[in-house]
Structure 1
Amino acid sequence: MFHDSAARLLVPAIRNTLQKRCQSVVPGPPRVHVSKAEKLVLGGGMCASLLVIPAWVLYHIREYKSGN
């Protein structure tokens, strides 16, 4: 019984959400300009976050090999 009522309530909500999210892509200049400094900071942060775990493993490789 609950399943049927939940389905009746959720289906229209999901359908309306999907219809609102449909957008077309139009080529052209970006709407919001992002400065080069901001791109540099964000790119550096992404690169650093990707390299943290491999750097940690390489730094502690002797501990991993010794089994202690």
Structure 2
Amino acid sequence: MDQSELQALAEKVDRLIARCQKLEQDNTALRQLQDDWNRERAQLMQKNDLARNKIEAMIGRLRALEQH
């Protein structure tokens, strides 16, 4: 292998290393976003359950009033 081939190979390796580092950063960012979305989803599900329980309680009270 001559010097120019070694230089070209070294540049390709450097680009590959840079690309791997970028992918690792992107992966970390995406995992953080996924964690954020999962937390938000859990909060929304909890709020939805709370709202459902309140509505069911109101319906129960309305039915009780209706029977009297």
**Alignment TM-score > 0.5, same fold:** no
Write 1 or 2 for the structure with the bigger share of helix. 2
